[in-house]
Amino acid sequence: MDQDKVLHDSLKKYFGFDAFRPLQEEIIRSVLSGGDCLVVMPTGSGKSICYQLPAVVSKGTFIVVSPLIALMKDQVESLKANGIAAGFVNSSLEYHEEKTVMTDLQSGRLKLLYLSPEKLLSRSMHHQLKSLKISGFAIDEAHCISVWGHDFREEYSKLDFVKKQWPAVPVIALTATADKVTRHDIVKQLGLKNARIFLSSFNRPNLSLRVATGQRVYQQVKSIIDRYKGQSGIVYCLSRKTCEEVAAKLTLDGHNAAHYHAGMDRNERTKVQEDFIRDNVPVIVATIAFGMGIDKSNIRFVVHYNMPKNIEGYYQEIGRGGRDGLSCETVMFYSYRDVMVLRGFAEESGQKEIQLAKLRRMQQYAEASVCRRRILLTYFGEDLKEDCGNCDVCKNPPSVFDATITVQKALSALKRLKENVGMGTLIDVLRGSQKGYLFEKGYHEIKTFGAGRDLNYTEWQHYLLQMLHHGFIEIAYDRHHVLRITEAGNEVLFKNRKVRFVRPTEKGDKTLYLKPERKKTKKQILEESLFEMLCELRKMIADSKGVPPYVIFSDATLHEMAEERPFTADDMLLISGVGDHKLKEYGQVFIDHIIDFLVDSGVTGAQVKGISYLKTYKLLRERLTIPEIAKRRKIHDVTVYSHLAWLYEKNMIPSVEKWISNEEITKVQNAVAVTGSTQELKPIFERLDGKMHYGKIRLALSCLKNKNQLLP
């Protein structure tokens, strides 16, 4: 069979998609041709299909290497839900569970096997794999092999073993974040031969981007979560203590939230993660360890309570939101304290210079006054031709002003304080604060004490951060983080160098660019209510099967169902994300619930075409007879028969034999042969001497039409 047809048919059959996303088909063909490749795609762009589809259409088993237990479990559950045989082996399995997987592997039943790096490198696994037909290797989270990456892992450093042991088997390495240096290092470290590098666009336009100053952070975070009541989101914090405190506050404020960090008991962490994945707990407050490999597609907001340490990590974390293609709000809070803490971490790390350089780039992003998406895409080597229109800078273009005098005041005060204070003390001096420690140290006597009292604390913090960004001051990390004036600062102070700064946002850092909600139309209200009902149905099915809800259908698929309202199997197959297997498993129950919802909602024919037929269909499912349906609906029996005919033609009911006999259908067929009428009922009625009423004639014509036995 033609490979093109096989690929597209398999894409629809197993994954429910009618078309490939950018680069997917090209990557898949490269793997199937036996070539090695590196795929760099942002989270949510469809990396997994790039090896899952080749695995499905190839002979043998595809081995997937992943460091993430949660990812393995999620991916395998999703594959099984799509009708694909898959398994995983890692430290979370009991002996008997691992034995079952290995039996399936040896029998050739598995199309994909997920392994941790340690398990792949073990002698026993190596021995077993050597005796099997391996169709390919996928190395997920491939940036972990590079010291230039943001998440280097020692166990990955030995994965060149794969190419040495299976030189003829294609290897596909995949990562969501890797700059140019990291990309080339991945290829080198894995020993890939003539590897093609595929770079997908890093632009995720459905993610809104915002940076806010780190003042009154909890109140701002709470206001965000208030707007997404009951919907899934992640709040990332720098410390374990902050995670616990924020989660506790949110719980007291009426939100269903839980914390997650590495200091928790393993079983407790697993439970929190499972509760989040299964939509039992919508909000997780976590350290950056959370979310790695979670395939949850319906995360509607990602908040960074503190500034991340590098752009790669930040982009990967916000990339966990909106993986279903729907909108996701991302907000990062940024403060001087964050910079100080992260700088300290970098200084103590084994990669000091690399980490400091990456932190500087992160800080520049946070302080930027240009389109934030441009900065992100530029970092990953991609050029955005136009401003994105979906970040705080684009939504609220900053006003700039001549800040020379403001900067001179700050520098003069710092000079008089002998460049021996931190940012907080400098601000207190500029504002003429009455705090006791200032008087104890004699700071109240310097000439510039109170010279900046016209600005509040937040505004001064904003301008000092810009001074730091522009290089007018620097932080002496080796001297308790005191501020020092740079050469550029001296030029402003003594040579009248001009400075233009961005004005801070309004006080309180209120949520930006939120337009007032317009009054919803009846159609929007109907779709939203139907979507909520479908989510409840999905949750009920998922709980009964012990899988996350998004394994059944994604939010995007449910939104499309709510908008299109499929009544038949053919209609349901047109919904993106509904393949043959899921149609067979869940199609009819979702169709029936959609129909019941519409009927019970009291919508009119103007709102939903065919609603009258659906009302009859619902009563048929309740096992009412034709006379009972007619009485209940206050319509004629003939009308009910016409509804049956419509439902039968739509394949919504499998048979009409209980309402019409083969003998009656034959009589109508003979009448059609004589009268030539296939549309008008009266000639047929008269040919039959009025002995068969119009309802049955209409139903008989539908039977003949479905069996292609209608004469012209």
Among the three residues 576, 603, 630, which one is the final residue of a domain in this structure? 603
The pair phi, psi for residue 332, each rounded to 5°, is: -120, 125
Residue 317's nearest CA partner among 333, 335, 300, 304 is: 304
pLDDT tens readout for residues 527-541: 999 999 999 999 999
CATH of the domain at 475: 1.10.10.10
Q: Determine how many CB atoms are found less than 10 A away from the CB of residue 471.
A: 11
Count of domains observed in the chain:
5
pLDDT tens readout for residues 100-111: 999 999 999 999
CATH of the domain at 86: 3.40.50.300
Sheet holding 232-236, edge to edge: 207-213, 328-334, 299-304, 232-236, 283-286, 257-260
**Quick one: average pLDDT of 269-291?**
87
Least confident window among 600-609, 635-644, 702-711: 702-711
**Which residues have a Cβ under 8 Å from the Cβ of 436 and sit 6 or more positions away?**
none
Is 80 exceeded by the pLDDT of residue 150? no
Is 80 exceeded by the pLDDT of residue 29? yes
Residue type, 646: W
Residue 614 vs residues 565, 596, 618, 620: alpha-carbon distances, Å? 12, 8, 6, 10
Q: For 641-693, what is the HEC assignment? A: HHHHHHHHHCCCCCCCCCCCCHHHHHHHHHHHHHHCCCCCCHHHHHHCCCCCC
Same domain, 554 and 664: no
Could you give the dihedral angle defined by the CA atoms of residues 51, 53, 58 and 62, in that order, rounded to the nearest 10 degrees? 40
Per-residue confidence band for 712, with pLDDT thresholds at 50, 70 and 90: very low
Q: Which DSSP helix (H) or strand (E) runs through 345?
A: helix 336-348
Q: For 405-458, what is the HEC assignment? A: HHHHHHHHHHHHCCCCCCHHHHHHHHCCCCCHHHHHCCHHHCCCCCCCCCCCHH
pLDDT tens readout for residues 441-469: 999 999 999 999 999 998 998 888 778 76
pLDDT of residue 297: 85
CA-CA distance, 265 to 431, in Å (whole number)? 47
pLDDT of residue 603: 84
Residue 701's nearest CA partner among 317, 252, 673, 611 is: 673
Are residues 64 and 113 in contact, defined by beta-carbon separation less than 8 angstroms? yes
Q: Which pair of structure tokens corresponds to residue 75?
A: 């991916």
The pair phi, psi for residue 331, each rounded to 5°, is: -135, 130
Residue 666 vs residues 280, 549, 669, 704: alpha-carbon distances, Å? 57, 49, 5, 9
Same domain, 360 and 214: yes
Residue 638 is given by DSSP the state H
Same domain, 188 and 45: yes
Same domain, 564 and 652: no
Q: Give residue 498's region: left, alpha or beta (phi > 0; psi -120 to 50).
A: beta
Are residues 39 and 5 in contact, defined by beta-carbon separation less than 8 angstroms? no
pLDDT of residue 144: 87
Tell me the pTM: 0.71
Q: Which pair of structure tokens corresponds to residue 146?
A: 């590079």
In a domain, 508, yes or no: no
Strand partners, 38: 173, 197
In a domain, 95, yes or no: yes
Q: Which DSSP helix (H) or strand (E) runs through 304?
A: strand 299-304
Same domain, 348 and 242: yes
Are residues 332 and 212 in contact, defined by beta-carbon separation less than 8 angstroms? yes
Same domain, 418 and 316: no
Is 60 exceeded by the pLDDT of residue 711? no
In a domain, 595, yes or no: yes
Same domain, 570 and 633: no
Residue 131's nearest CA partner among 110, 105, 163 is: 105
Q: Which pair of structure tokens corresponds to residue 405?
A: 């005098």
Among the three residues 340, 371, 395, which one is the final residue of a domain in this structure? 395
Instruction: Identify the residue whose tokens are 């979507």.
Output: 531
pLDDT of residue 709: 52
Q: Determine how many CB atoms are found less than 10 A away from the CB of residue 191.
A: 16
pLDDT of residue 510: 40
Query: What does DSSP say about strands 171-175 and 207-213: parallel, antiparallel, or unpaired?
Result: unpaired
Least confident window among 113-117, 492-496, 508-512, 546-550: 508-512
Same domain, 385 and 441: no
Strand partners, 88: 114
Residue type, 546: G
Instruction: Identify the residue whose tokens are 């100080």.
Output: 340
In a domain, 507, yes or no: no
Per-residue confidence band for 266, with pLDDT thresholds at 50, 70 and 90: confident
Is 80 exceeded by the pLDDT of residue 559? yes
**Which residues have a Cβ under 8 Å from the Cβ of 472 and sit 6 or more positions away?**
407, 411, 485, 486, 488, 489, 492, 499
Q: What is the DSSP code string of 103-146?
A: HHHHTT--SEEEE-HHHHHSHHHHHHHHTS-EEEEEE-SGGGG-
pLDDT of residue 477: 59
Same domain, 369 and 483: no
pLDDT of residue 453: 94
In a domain, 624, yes or no: yes
pLDDT of residue 467: 83
Same domain, 391 and 404: no
Residue 581 or residue 706, greater confidence: 581
Same domain, 371 and 265: yes
Are residues 192 and 315 in contact, defined by beta-carbon separation less than 8 angstroms? no
Residue 145's domain comprises 3-199
The pair phi, psi for residue 387, each rounded to 5°, is: -60, 145
In a domain, 405, yes or no: yes
Instruction: Identify the residue whose tokens are 């979670």.
Output: 294
Among the three residues 473, 502, 531, which one is the final residue of a domain in this structure? 502
pLDDT of residue 290: 67
pLDDT tens readout for residues 85-94: 999 998 888 8
pLDDT tens readout for residues 410-437: 999 999 999 999 989 999 999 999 999 9
In a domain, 647, yes or no: yes
Per-residue confidence band for 291, with pLDDT thresholds at 50, 70 and 90: low
Q: Which pair of structure tokens corresponds to residue 170?
A: 């294609």
In a domain, 186, yes or no: yes
**Which residues have a Cβ under 8 Å from the Cβ of 671 and sit 6 or more positions away?**
683, 684, 687, 688
CA-CA distance, 415 to 418, in Å (whole number)? 5
Could you give the dihedral angle defined by the CA atoms of residues 183, 185, 191 and 193, in that order, rounded to the nearest 10 degrees? 40
Same domain, 285 and 422: no
Q: Determine how many CB atoms are found less than 10 A away from the CB of residue 12.
A: 17
pLDDT of residue 508: 36
* For the chain, percent of residues with pLDDT exceeding 70: 95
pLDDT of residue 624: 93
Are residues 141 and 343 in contact, defined by beta-carbon separation less than 8 angstroms? no
Least confident window among 261-265, 339-343, 354-358: 354-358
Q: Which DSSP helix (H) or strand (E) runs through 635?
A: none
What is the biggest distance separating any 2 CA atoms in the chain, rounded to whole angstroms? 116
